[in-house]
DNA sequence: CGATTTTGACCTGCGC
DNA sequence: GCGCAGGTCAAAATCG
């Protein structure tokens, strides 16, 4: 459920009392508790608590605000932020320092900042997405200038000059980063092509050696359909290659298929169950009638690892079955430091169970999404046994309804994570899949580590947001979950009202937009990268336009400048993250039809981040019928 | 009074 | 077949 107030009630849920963590109801909780009318998509106030989507930007905001107002009492708005937000992260101060360091590294010229209000105005007017830069540059120096300079015009003039210089610099950095991105993309494509060719050769060899028995051939066809076909609408560049690896692997696909039968149905499965409803119901009846399920409850039923799913899957064509088997197992686990009982990810959840899991004194709570009837998305929330300040949230399933912007953040995140999981790691027996790349692709501004485990009962992507910044990101403010204030805007549509960009959420929001654009254009068989570039936020496009006038720097400068840019501008980082994740894990031309059809069948968006409000369907989400959407 | 949480019971899969 | 663990259900309790 949406017990929205938890984030504000750190007090009641003492970390030391983990056993009662999920059972106690925070005191302050109640006052903020549930107000469904308020929890409308797009309502910025709706998700107090640890706001995943708004966290980063707000955190950055807070840090920047602290910097700007360090020598004087902060404006009312800022003080509200500072006071209201609770930093769950122990090293927040360090990150704040890092933020300043990043600003110092990025800003060769400090730009004065008159006041937060003035900054807000400039943001509204320019909307370059360089708010962090603006904020960062408006630091001590500007304060000093304000104190000693009575000539406002001169000050503004110099400020403007600084801004222009900074803008140019950022443009050049933007260009460099784009070049780097292009290199990464080309390298990725080359590697993928090479891998595909190798796999094809291996496949041919294996077929030649094993082509004797027809039965085996038939089974092989089934396997192929079980692996390749799903990947087709899961898509992704590496997908086909991975699927081929699966095909080569004797055990992986079968095990996955078998295990998948006990896993929750996905949207696609729900879709397919529409014409297999009788089997479902019959099977449900076999359960003793305990679960009185109507056809309308098929989605809910789908979550039950019952025989119905297995029988139904067995009765279905291999394609659908395999697709479900592959996708419905995917999970995304998000680790984040939080004292709150549950991270606020923008969706409404209702708790339906709690169990003591083995090996962990903390109970595991089970939630299901209640934003729409029959939404199959569920999540598990549990404290880390080793570090109870870490909250582990595992998402599973795919939303069948529009999501508010705040929810799209997590949706996009998990979407990207699962996209990468299903696209590239499924073939791997286990292990970490290029964590740096993955982490940067998914959450490049989070300093997170994305760990993929395919050997687990469910292929799981773990996004660890608790790690300290990696060397390449050390200067960047660490994203974290924070406690938003009630009534404070959190939706991304109101970013202009924020003091600083909600980098992470914006990144993911943009990502969704990117992907949505991609999806729609993929249908039109358009190239994706150009569309992604075309769908970049305005400030990026503006920067790109201007950066074309910049002379290319040296490689060293490029790298350093890129690092500085990334660390200094969460918006850019976000956009880059979105682009990368969309490119690598999110969008490919051949994935939309099947999933879209499935989604259409169910009348759902078949997307986690798919948002009617934005008429965007995240490709990475949309194709991930089993992806933990939220 | 409706929505949500709590909590014990139940179901299922898996390993022995 | 049995026990264990994960997951889910649903009646009762709680809350607003």
Residue A362 pLDDT > 60? yes
Q: What is the mean pLDDT of residues A140-157?
A: 56
Confidence of residue A437 (pLDDT cuts 50, 70, 90): very low
Q: What pLDDT, on the 0 to 100 scale, is given for residue A191?
A: 73
Distance (Å) from CA A498 to C1' C7? 41
What pLDDT, on the 0 to 100 scale, is given for residue A399?
82
Residue A368 has pLDDT above 50, yes or no: yes
CA–C1' A36–C16 (A)? 12
Q: How high is the pLDDT of residue A150?
A: 58
- The confidence score (pLDDT) of residue A53 equals 39
Residue A408, pLDDT > 70, answer yes
A259-CA/B13-C1' distance, Å? 9
pLDDT at A422: 62
Which nucleotide is nearest to A348 if distance is taken from CA to C1'? B4
At A177 the pLDDT is: 77
- Closest nucleotide to A304 by C1' from CA: C8
Q: Which segment, A334-348, A359-373, A410-424, A482-496, is predicted with the most confidence on average?
A: A359-373
pLDDT at A397: 80
What the block records as the tokens of A298 is 């098929």
In tens, the pLDDT along A492-512 reads: 333 333 322 233 333 333 333
Checking each nucleotide's C1' against the CA of A292, the nearest proves to be: C9
The spacing between the Cα labelled CA in A311 and the C1' in B6, in angstroms, equals: 33
Measuring from the CA of residue A291 to each C1', which nucleotide is nearest? C9
CA of A450 to C1' of C10 (A): 37
A260-299 pLDDT per residue, tens? 333 333 333 333 333 333 333 333 333 333 333 333 333 3
At residue A385, does pLDDT exceed 50?
yes
For residues A303 and A52, give the distance between their C-alpha atoms in angstroms, rounded to a whole number: 25
State how far the Cα of A577 lies from the Cα of A463, in Å rounded to an integer.
Answer: 14
Distance A356 CA to B12 C1' (A): 17
pLDDT band at residue A215, thresholds of 50, 70 and 90?
very low
**Rounded Cα gap, residues A232 and A51, in angstroms:** 34
Residue A593 has pLDDT above 70, yes or no: no
Residue A457 CA, nucleotide B15 C1', distance (Å): 14
A446 CA vs C12 C1’ separation (Å): 43
Q: CA-to-C1' distance for A511 and B8, Å?
A: 44
Question: What is d(CA A411, CA A414) in angstroms, rounded to the nearest whole number?
Answer: 5
Note the pLDDT tens digit of each residue in A520-564. Answer: 333 333 333 333 333 333 333 343 444 444 433 333 343 344 334
- Return the axis-axis angle of helices A152-210 and A237-248, rounded to nearest 10°: 30
Integer distance in angstroms from CA A305 to C1' B13? 9
φ, ψ for residue A616 (rounded to 5)?
-115, 135
Q: Please tell me which of A150-164, A222-236, A403-417 the model is most confident about, judged by mean pLDDT.
A: A150-164
Shortest-distance nucleotide from A358 CA to C1': C5
Nucleotide nearest to A25 (CA to C1'): B5
Closest CA to the C1' of C8: that residue is: A304
- At residue A208, the pLDDT reads 60
For residue A101, pLDDT beyond 80: no
> Mean pLDDT over residues A92-114, rounded?
40
Contacts of strand C, CB cut-off 7 Å?
Answer: A 25, 29-31, 33-34, 264, 290-292, 300-301, 303-305, 352-359, 364, 366, 378, 380
A399: Cα separation from own chain's centroid: 14
Q: What is the pLDDT of residue A174?
A: 79
**Which has the closest alpha carbon to A70: A149, A158, A141?**
A141
Whether A572 shows a pLDDT value over 80: the answer reads no
pTM of this prediction?
0.40
What is the spatial distance, in angstroms and rounded to an integer, between the CA atom of A353 and the C1' atom of C7?
9
Distance (Å, rounded) from C-alpha A195 to C-alpha A199? 6
Q: Please say if the pLDDT value at position A113 is more than 70.
A: no
Tell me which protein residue sits closest to nucleotide C5, measuring alpha carbon to C1'.
A358
Q: To 10 degrees, what angle do helices A555-568 and A152-210 make?
A: 110
Q: What is the mean pLDDT of chain A?
A: 48
Distance CA A29 to C1' C14 in A: 14
Between CA A361 and C1' C3 the distance (Å) reads: 21
Sequence-distant (6+) residues with CB within 8 A of A283 are A306, A307, A308, A309, A311, A312
On the question of pLDDT at A167 being above 60, the answer is yes
Question: What was the pLDDT predicted at A548?
Answer: 40
Nucleotides of B under 7 A from a protein CB: 3-14
Give the DSSP H/E element, type plus range, for residue A305: none
**How far apart are the two ends of chain A, measured CA to CA in Å?**
14
pLDDT value at residue A390: 86
Distance of CA A578 to the CA centre of its chain: 9
Q: Which residues touch strand B (CB under 7 A)?
A: A 1-3, 22-25, 34, 36, 258-259, 261-262, 286-288, 290, 305-307, 310, 348-355, 365, 370
Strands A363-369 and A378-383, by their bridges, are: antiparallel
Residue, of A322 and A109, whose pLDDT is higher = A322
Query: In strand C, which positions have an atom below 7 A from any protein CB?
Result: 4-10, 15-16
Band of the pLDDT at A375, cuts 50, 70, 90? confident
Which nucleotide's C1' is closest to A33 (Cα)?
C16
Does residue A376 or residue A622 have the better pLDDT? A376
How long is the CA A355 to C1' B7 vector, in angstroms?
A: 10
Q: Name the pLDDT band for A404 (thresholds 50, 70, 90).
A: confident
Query: Are the beta carbons of A535 and A146 closer than 8 angstroms?
Result: no
| Residue A302, nucleotide of least CA–C1' distance | C8
Q: Which nucleotide is nearest to A36 (CA to C1')?
A: B3
Assign A453 a pLDDT band (cuts: 50, 70, 90): low
Q: In the structure, what pLDDT confidence band is assigned to residue A336 with cuts at 50, 70 and 90?
A: confident
Share of chain A above pLDDT 70, in %: 21
């Amino acid at each position: 459920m949406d017990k929205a107030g938890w984030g504000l009630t750190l007090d009641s849920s003492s970390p030391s009392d983990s056993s009662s963590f999920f059972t106690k109801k925070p005191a302050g909780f109640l006052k903020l508790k549930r107000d469904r009318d308020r929890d409308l998509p797009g309502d910025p106030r709706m998700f107090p608590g640890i706001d995943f989507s708004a966290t980063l930007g707000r955190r950055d905001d807070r840090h920047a605000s602290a910097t700007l107002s360090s020598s004087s009492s902060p404006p009312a708005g800022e003080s509200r932020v500072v006071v209201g937000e609770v930093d769950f992260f122990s090293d927040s101060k360090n990150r704040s320092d890092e933020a300043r360091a990043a600003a110092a590294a990025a800003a060769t010229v400090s730009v004065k900042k008159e006041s937060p209000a003035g900054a807000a105005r400039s943001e509204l007017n320019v909307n370059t997405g360089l708010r962090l830069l603006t904020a960062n540059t408006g630091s001590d120096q500007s304060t000093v200038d304000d104190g000693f300079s009575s000539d406002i015009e001169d000050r503004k003039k110099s400020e403007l000059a600084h801004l222009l210089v900074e803008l140019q610099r950022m443009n050049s950095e933007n260009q460099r980063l784009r070049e780097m991105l292009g290199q990464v993309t080309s390298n990725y494509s080359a590697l993928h092509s090479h891998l595909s060719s190798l796999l094809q050769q291996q496949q041919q060899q294996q077929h030649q050696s094993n082509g004797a028995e027809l039965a085996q051939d038939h089974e092989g066809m089934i396997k192929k359909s079980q692996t390749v076909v799903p990947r087709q609408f899961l898509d992704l560049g590496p997908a086909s290659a991975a699927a081929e690896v699966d095909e080569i692997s004797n055990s992986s696909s079968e095990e996955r298929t078998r295990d998948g039968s006990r896993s929750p149905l996905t949207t696609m499965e729900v879709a397919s169950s529409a014409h297999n409803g009788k089997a479902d119901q019959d099977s449900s009846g076999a359960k003793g009638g305990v679960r009185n399920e109507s056809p309308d409850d098929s989605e809910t039923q789908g979550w039950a690892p019952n025989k119905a799913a297995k029988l139904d899957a067995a009765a279905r064509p291999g394609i659908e079955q395999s697709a479900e088997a592959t996708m419905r197992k995917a999970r995304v686990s998000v680790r984040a430091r939080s004292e709150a009982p549950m991270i606020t990810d923008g969706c409404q959840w209702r708790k339906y169970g709690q169990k003591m899991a083995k090996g962990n004194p903390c109970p595991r709570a089970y939630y299901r999404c209640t934003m729409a009837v029959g939404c199959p998305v569920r999540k598990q929330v549990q404290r880390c046994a080793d570090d109870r300040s870490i909250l582990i949230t595992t998402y599973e399933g795919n939303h069948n309804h529009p999501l508010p912007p705040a929810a799209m953040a997590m949706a996009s995140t998990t979407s990207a994570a699962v996209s990468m999981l299903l696209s590239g790691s499924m073939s791997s027996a286990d292990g970490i899949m290029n964590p740096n790349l993955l982490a940067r692709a998914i959450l490049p501004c989070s300093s997170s580590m994305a760990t993929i485990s395919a050997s687990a009962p469910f292929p799981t992507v773990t996004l660890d947001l608790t790690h300290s910044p990696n060397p390449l990101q050390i200067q960047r403010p660490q994203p974290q979950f924070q406690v938003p204030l009630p009534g404070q805007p959190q939706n991304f549509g109101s970013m202009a009202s924020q003091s600083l960009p909600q980098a992470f959420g914006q990144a993911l929001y943009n990502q969704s937009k990117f992907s949505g654009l991609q999806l729609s254009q993929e249908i039109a068989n358009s190239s994706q990268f150009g569309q992604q570039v075309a769908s970049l936020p305005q400030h990026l496009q503006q920067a790109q336009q201007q950066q074309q006038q910049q002379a290319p720097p040296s490689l060293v400068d490029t790298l350093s400048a890129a690092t500085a840019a990334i660390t200094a501008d969460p918006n850019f980082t976000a956009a880059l993250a979105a682009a990368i994740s969309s490119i690598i894990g999110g969008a490919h031309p051949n994935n939309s039809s099947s999933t879209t059809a499935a989604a259409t069948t169910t009348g759902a968006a078949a997307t986690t981040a798919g948002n009617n409000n934005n008429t965007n369907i995240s490709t990475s989400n949309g194709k991930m019928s089993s992806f933990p959407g939220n």
